[in-house]
Amino acid sequence: MSDETTAMPHQQPGMPSARGAEDSLAPLGQHDPVVMGPYRLVGRLGAGGMGVVFAGVDSAGRRAAVKVIHAELAHDDEFRVRFRREIDLLRRVRARCMVQVLGADAEAEQPWLATEYVPGPTLAQRVEQNGPLSEQEIVGLAGGLGEALRAMHTVGVVHRDLKPSNVILSPTGPRLIDMGIARAMDETSVTRTGVLVGSPGWISPEEYRGSDVGPAADVYGWALLVLFAATGRPPFGTGRPEVLAMRVLADTPDVEAVPEPLKDLARRSLAKQPSERPSAEDVLNALVQGWRESAVGQTAGDVTLVEEVTRYLDRTWVMPLTNNSNWIVPAPPSRSGARRWGMVAGGLGVVGAVAAAAALFINGGAGEPQAPAAVRTDRTAVPAPTSSSAPQTKASSATPSPTKEATSSPKPSSLGKKVTMIRGHSFVLPSDWLYFPDNTNNTEGMCLRPKRMKDADYLFCSQFGMSIHPWLSTGSGASEDDDLSWLEDADGLNYTYSGEGPCISGHTSRKGEIVKGGLNKIGNLRAHYRKARSYCDDGSTRETETLVLPITGLTIVIDKLPAEERAQAEDILRSFKFAKKQTR
């Protein structure tokens, strides 16, 4: 891999294709290892800024999701600290409804972590395909998540990233995944004070306010997931992260769609003040008490809360697998290296299991950032790895190629002046362009435009030119999550701050679309790239290009420009020099 991305082609990171396992299990790349610890690796489940999650099979044919850190990151002491910490947190928690660790080696040349393989769709996929869950399913989901959170909080761990793509609806019950940005309550945070972690729209009010985040934030997240399962919609809608932050702080979601047994509990769990919310223990006790009261003819006896959850799910949970697939496992190569025979490692549904595994990296395996401009945190730029990073490799690559637009751009011009940003990044600004700080959203951000437009009134930073925003390390809404699904929302990318959507003078006539996607060069790095088009009811269209470097923590937005000025914008991108060391 030689870029800062990637999920499998045409997939949202953390949200593998719901069309079937065949689309989600990608072949090994040219420089991918074929063996890691006791596991033979048979394909890719997903990838992100921290590394790759592989489908692995041990000598007994048992399947696992094997998370492998990029070789170049293995030499970074701070990354190793984060990885050891994640392993420790995962091993500390024992819950029926949480994914379990099978093995790990944080000291290996390429550190790795193997977790159990969980079949089933994510909650996000299930809702997208079939709409809201039934009342019985919602109650089972609430109980399973309550059990997982209670187990975490009992041993002093806070998850901090509850969202639909981090919940797998397995055949035996809901399973909470991705401990990548979890934190022990008694430890100093690895991130700096004020840095937000989580996914926009799923972050608690206290974290947006910059307060300490504890177990109550997970209870708030629990209520949001219950509400999402009941309505089939994100509780605070969709939009740019800063818009979602404002809604979280100002609005209280309506819980009328939540089943009656959960309604009051969900309402109290959504309180803006953490002290007013019930604990995970209270949540689970209330759920179990309701189950006991409704179980006519049954007595509770001397049964623990965990046993009650198990009983309820065994009695009521029905979540059939809709996709079945086999992993074709290459036999170990012979000494002559001549022929390989394939064997089948069992047929389990893998749509959500792929998501469960991929989320370990893609949803922030060690606190990877997520939100765009003005709602982000900075990261250290990672140089492109070389082919020597893996000891054993397999031919073929699943790395997305740059778009045609990305590869046809001219080399940066030497004409212009060097501009150095607060973070130490620099670029060459053409002599006929100007720049000024974005005093509206993020003063570290810069608004760039041709000088011919210097007197033009503007509604947003990138209008008539482009904007460059480092992800914020403090303040309103910086995120440390690597779920970049917002890049698939064309109308969200085109949001203008002038009203409720992307159209400056009105509303959209239909849903927007991503017309180009892939990778685009920024300096010596490759960024996620999307070109979005929105359709306005006055017959006009609006187009912008968005580029994101999730490790470095940078978002660039380019307005629709004449060809000559678009070429100058590309010059600016190519001229980027990144700071060698950034402060986290």
**pLDDT of res. 179:** 64
* Dihedral of alpha carbons 71, 77, 82, 87, sign: positive
Backbone φ/ψ region at 346: left (φ over 0), alpha (ψ -120 to 50), beta: left
Cβ atoms within 10 Å, residue 435: 19
| Binding annotation | 67
Per-chain mean pLDDT for the chain: 74
Is residue 105 annotated as part of the catalytic site, yes or no? Answer: no
Cα-to-chain-centroid distance, residue 35:
27
Per residue in 454-467, pLDDT tens?
Answer: 888 777 889 999 99
Run of H or E including 571 = helix 563-574
**pLDDT of res. 507:** 81
Per residue in 97-112, pLDDT tens?
Answer: 988 888 999 889 889 9
Judge contact between 270 and 223, C-beta under 8 A: yes
- Of these residues, 161, 481, 491, 559, which one is catalytic? 161
Residue ranges of the chain with per-residue pLDDT less than 70: 1-24, 48-50, 179-198, 295-302, 320-415, 439-443, 472-483, 496-500, 505, 581-584
Per residue in 288-323, pLDDT tens?
Answer: 888 877 764 454 556 788 888 888 888 888 876 655
**pLDDT of res. 70:** 80
**pLDDT of res. 61:** 79
**Distance in angstroms (rounded) separating the CA atoms of residues 7 and 27:** 13
Judge contact between 490 and 541, C-beta under 8 A: no
Q: What is the DSSP string of 319-387?
A: ---S--EEEEEEPPPPTT-----EEEEEEE--HHHHHHHHHHHHTTTT------TTSB------PPPPG
| Binding annotation for ATP | 67
**pLDDT of res. 387:** 30
